[in-house]
Structures are given as structure tokens and as C-alpha cells.
């Protein structure tokens, strides 16, 4: 006769503000929230491309609406979140990507610095394309 004993799992209570207890948790949550805004801005860009394909008059009306103070505020907010997201990404890369030169590991500053340099170059290329 096989009797199974039912066990009761211990479920530790977790407050809703757990991420405010340590600065590292807070930074992680801020980075995650910025991802949501970046995704929303990507949806906005898709809508912008869709409107551009609809015709000149409808696109011009939509484009003119982008000059409103609310639109400018949202674009500024999206820019700030993009910068925060990019900086935290560059700062985390040495923990994720480990590069070796021979038997020695490259310092974290070099790996992060290379990512910052790539970010600056990519931004410069995009600015040149936009201005051209």
C-alpha cells in the first residue's frame, strides 16, 4: 500500500515594492520599463510608414499633428528612454560578452567602450542619412 503524503509548499510573501529595496533591482526595473516605451515608439514608426503610403494629403495631416506640444513631449520622453536603455545595455555587455586576447580577458571598460563607440558611429550614420 503506497500512501502519498501531501506537502504544503511554502510561498514567501513578496511585497509589490520589492524592486525598491535595492538599487540594482530598481535599475533593472527602470531598464525593463524603458523597453516598453521603445516598443511603443517602434509601433509609432510603423504607423508613420503606413500613413506615408496612404497618400500625400493624409500623410501631411498626420505629419502636421506631430508638431503639437504633446507630440514633442512624447518624442523627448522616447529619446530619454532610448538613451537610458542604450547606456544600460552598453554597461551590461561586459558581463554577458567575455572577450579574450590570448589567455587574458579584456577589461570590462574596453568591451563597454567598444559598444559605446559602435553606438556613436551608428548614431552618426543615421543622422547623416536623415540630413541627406
CB within 8 Å of 75: residues ≥ 6 apart: 66
The pLDDT tens digits for 75-128 are 999 999 999 989 988 998 998 888 888 899 989 999 999 999 999 999 999 999
Which whole number is the average pLDDT over 26-53? Answer: 88
pTM over 0.75: no
Cell of 41: 515608439
Structural domains of the chain, with CATH = 22-126 (1.20.1300.10)
The pLDDT tens digits for 22-36 are 998 998 898 888 899
Amino acid at each position: 500500500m503506497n500512501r502519498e503524503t501531501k506537502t504544503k509548499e511554502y510561498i514567501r510573501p513578496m511585497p509589490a515594492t520589492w524592486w525598491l529595496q535595492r538599487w540594482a533591482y530598481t535599475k533593472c526595473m527602470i531598464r525593463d520599463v524603458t523597453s516598453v516605451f521603445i516598443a511603443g515608439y517602434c509601433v509609432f514608426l510603423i504607423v508613420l510608414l503606413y500613413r506615408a503610403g496612404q497618400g500625400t494629403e493624409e500623410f501631411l495631416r498626420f505629419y502636421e499633428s506631430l508638431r503639437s506640444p504633446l507630440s514633442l513631449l512624447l518624442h523627448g520622453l522616447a529619446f530619454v528612454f532610448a538613451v537610458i536603455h542604450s547606456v544600460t545595455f552598453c554597461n551590461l555587455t561586459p558581463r554577458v560578452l567575455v572577450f579574450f586576447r590570448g589567455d587574458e580577458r579584456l577589461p570590462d571598460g574596453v568591451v563597454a567602450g567598444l559598444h559605446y563607440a559602435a553606438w556613436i558611429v551608428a548614431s552618426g550614420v543615421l543622422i547623416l542619412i536623415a540630413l541627406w
